[in-house]
Amino acid sequence: MIKTGIIGGAGYTAGELLRLLINHPEVEITFVHSGSNAGNKITAVHSGLLGETDLVFTDSLELLPAIDLLFFCTAHGDTKKFIDSHELPASLKIIDLSTDYRAKRDDHDFVYGLPELNHDDIVKAQHIANPGCFATAIQLAVLPLAKNGLLNEVHVNAITGSTGAGVKPGSTTHFSWRNDNISVYKAFEHQHLAEITQSIKQLQSSFEAPINFIPVRGDFARGIFATVYTECDLTIEEAKKLYSDYYLAHPFTIVADSNPDLKQVINTNKCVLHLEKHGNKLLIISVIDNLLKGASGQAVHNMNLIFGLPENTGLKLKPIAF
């Protein structure tokens, strides 16, 4: 059994991670750390796990030497602070769901954990930086083009559910404001643009074109629906073959003939892509669950890879459908 610990156990991503790990056949959850909830039952915060676990939050790290893998579901900036201020076992594997180590730098050895891009490096890695949710949906929409040196200026409009803003309430997540409402935020300046550009240039080093990204807050709880288009000389048949070939070995990314909807992917680790050609423009629709494929499901996928398990272990999940 893979013995795991979680730092930052009270948020939405931690709740989804716990749900997956509790039902994972090869995992034992050793501790769930939360300073603000220490002593409380996990189900007092994650009520959907009622009847599935008797785990209790702790603020102790005494079991840290006993685990194989540590997940960070912390606020951005807090993972690095924790690692810098604690002496961690040399053999400890880490999967960080924050932004702290997504940028490649000489001062860390974290591998960017997008399996459809870095599968072979993830298998050999000790430390994984889990991608952002918008970044996952957008990258999966364009990686086959970049791989073949065909990516031009990119235009993206992507709408996300309120869980993408985290569990702490704010003026734009309050029900009375968010319900029956949409709004644009961080237009052309979203923080995920850096990791998206980094991945594109990994495959297409000559890429210098803009990525025109308009993020939108949706009036639903979870999911990302991204529409991406770029100029492309391929026929639709050629484009579909390019995408199908690229994702052939990747079980969670599906190229669909029919126009997708969010309910096909919510509660799953899938990304569904759909391609259309309009004149000289290639339209790619990309839909994911922001908490699973965009966060905790992808973290478990990465765990499976670094421990040599089948990629879909513990991730054979049912879409909500209705």
Task: Give catalytic residues, as residue numbers.
Answer: 133
Asked whether 66 and 89 are in contact (CB, 8 A), the reply is: no
What is d(CA 315, CA 112) in angstroms, rounded to the nearest whole number? Answer: 20
Cα 237 to Cα 102: distance, rounded to the nearest angstrom: 34
d(CA 122, CA 287): 23
Residues 256, 295, 129: CA angle, nearest 5 degrees: 115
Q: Please identify which residue in the block is written with the tokens 């065909």.
A: 150
Q: Are 117 and 202 in contact (CB under 8 A)?
A: yes
